[in-house]
Amino acid sequence: MLTDTLLPLLDPRRHLGRLPRPIPWIAAGLIGRIPQARRLVSRIAINKYAYAVAPRPRPLTLAGDYTSWKSLTDRTYSGRHLPPSTAPPEELPAEQDVVALFRRSEEIPSTDTSLMFAFFAQWFTDSFLRTNRLDPRKNDSNHEIDLCQIYGVNEHKTNMLRAGHEGLLDSQFVNGEEFPKFLFAEREPGGELFFDPKFEGLHDREYLLNTILRACPDERKDSVFAVGLEHGNSTIGNTVLNVLFLREHNRIARRLVQQYPKWEDDRLFETTRNIMIVLLLKIVVEEYITHIGPFDFPIELVPFVAEEERWNRTNWCAIEFNLLYRWHSLIPDSTVFDSKRMSTRELVDNNPFVLDRGIDTVIAQFSRQKASKIGLRNTPAFLVDRHPGFPAYPSVEERTVHLMREARLRPYNAYRKEFGLGALASFADLTKDVALQKTMESLYGDIDNVEWYVGIFAEDYPEHRMMGNLMTTMVAHDAFTQALTNPLLARRVYNDRTFTKVGKEIIDQTHCLQQIVARNSQNPREAYASFRVE
């Protein structure tokens, strides 16, 4: 059978040692050029990871330690793959010692992952992995991939962000280029900041100013955009992607107005939003997940792939999915822009940078620069250590380790067994770094005691991969089973009636981020976007 021929080439865990290194890439490239073979292998790969662990519903969530009606139905609580750990907290290493494992000692670059990939990963996951700031057991998202980054998390907020005519999102033009409206009303220099009346209630003003923007220089706050999520202006990566997808929404809406001039604003808007969500899903599956895979095999967004599968269940994000996506080590200490080196701290809270340079330039330059390698001892200091101006606020990595402990997750080996990978027998099996082996042994004593969040980042992996086996498997499982169950991909929904013929053509012809950048660029031939650095 064809599958018996293809699978050995696509399963690196079993066969890398037997194959010359170029063969898997050559095979992936050849198969990817044959539509029927590409679709077949995509279906096989999707199901391989979708069935890596028992399908949802999960019997437990963070609502409690035993199965209840609440744990089975109340999706305000994050799910969990495994029951909570019963290990006494006092037997675990101190949280600060665990945090220290992530601090960068010497920057290690990725093999071929771009900084644009890191930007996209944060922007994408912030839309559905939204830990409630008052109760960390809960998730503030609706567990769907729905582009709430530009549309907001509910209808009330969506209406604030709409222009109110022709299906458009509200926008402004700055130096001839389209951007979202500014969130704050005009003020006197140094005066108090208040929301523009139209956006009153879009976000919690005190939380936004005193927590999210607390380290943002005052002169940059006037350029904060009105977008769907509170963190939507926190990095230039979030900003450029929000601007890009707003432009694409409005570009498509304007095309629909030309094609259907009698349609009312609501129908134009909702049809455009349908198209936009599927465009995002295609980029996630066909470019983003493809890059995460070992050989860049061109996985296809197979229509209706979930229809007959047991994993086609209601979406419910797990706490493990939330935590494993903390790829803080992707961020280098510095980067180069316009031939000048700058600290990556300057990429935070800096919309004036984007307004000045333009999103095309930002996306192109950061698509050509490498991110850092995912792993322990490779997270930049500003994400591990507390901000010197706000020493009372825990750092990003401190908050992550604390959330892991609050969730009482089982050890690393327990998850390896749950996902069919088998337990490791020693620290030497986990990493070839002898110094790290000794540090881990001094903290945990035995490999079976290693905490899951530490283990997935400690796990060694070869150059052709961007993360270890367990993290790859868990990412793929949750990504496929929560992206491909989207209602817009259902057989009775995925058609011209939902998207229009114009919209369906746009969907069918879009496979990568660069196409969207080019369509919204003043110089489309010069547009460049890539998750991979050649």
pLDDT at 23: 46
Beta-bridge partners for 345: none
**What is the rounded CA–CA span in Å between residue 109 and residue 265?**
48
Q: Is residue 96 part of a domain?
A: yes
Q: Quote the longest CA-to-CA distance of the chain.
A: 72
- What SS3 class is residue 13? helix
Q: Is residue 19 part of a domain?
A: no
What pLDDT does residue 32 have?
Answer: 67
pLDDT in tens, 58-85: 999 999 999 999 999 999 999 999 999 9
CATH number of the CATH domain containing 333: 1.10.640.10
Whether 11 is in a domain gets the answer: no
Alpha carbon distance 405, 407 (integer Å) = 5
pLDDT of residue 28: 63
Given this model, what pLDDT does residue 449 score? 97
Q: Which of 18-22, 24-28, 407-411 has the highest mean pLDDT?
A: 407-411
Q: How confident is the model at residue 98 (pLDDT cuts 50, 70, 90)?
A: very high
Q: Is the pLDDT of residue 3 over 80?
A: no
Query: Domain limits at 439?
Result: 34-181+225-526
Can you tell me the distance from the alpha carbon of 228 to that of 213, in angstroms, rounded to the nearest whole number? 16
* Percentage of the chain modeled with pLDDT above 90: 87
433-474 per-position pLDDT tens digit: 999 999 999 999 999 999 999 999 999 999 989 999 999 999
Rounded Cα distance between 512 and 32, Å, is 15
**Would you state the pLDDT for residue 25?**
54
> pLDDT digits over 148-168, tens only?
999 999 999 999 999 999 999
Both tokens of 337, joined, read: 């822009």
Q: Are strands 171-174 and 177-180 parallel, antiparallel or unpaired?
A: antiparallel
Q: Measuring CA to CA, how many Å separate 229 from each of 96, 216, 219, 245, 461?
A: 30, 17, 21, 14, 34
pTM: 0.93
The per-residue pLDDT for range 102-130, each reduced to its tens digit, is 999 999 999 999 999 999 999 999 999 99
Q: Is the pLDDT reported for residue 37 higher than 90?
A: no
Q: How many domains does the chain have?
A: 1
In this predicted structure, the answer to whether residue 24 has a pLDDT above a threshold of 90 is: no
Residue 70 lies in a domain: yes
Q: Give me the pLDDT at residue 21, please.
A: 45
Q: How far is CA 250 from the centre of its chain?
A: 23
Determine the average pLDDT of the residues in 328-353: 96
Residue 79, beta-bridge partner list:
61, 318
Report d(CA 311, CA 257) in Å as an integer: 38
Summarised one tens digit per residue, pLDDT across range 10-22 is 443 343 333 344 4
87 domain-assigned? yes
Helix, strand, or coil here: 172? strand
Q: Tokens at residue 531, please? A: 């998750």
> Can you tell me the distance from the alpha carbon of 116 to that of 105, in angstroms, rounded to the nearest whole number?
24
Contact between residue 509 and residue 499 where contact means Cβ atoms under 8 Å apart: no
Residue 220 lies in a domain: no
Does pLDDT of 6 surpass 80? no
The answer to whether 418 and 53 are in contact (CB under 8 A) is yes
Token pair recorded at residue 90 = 């006092």
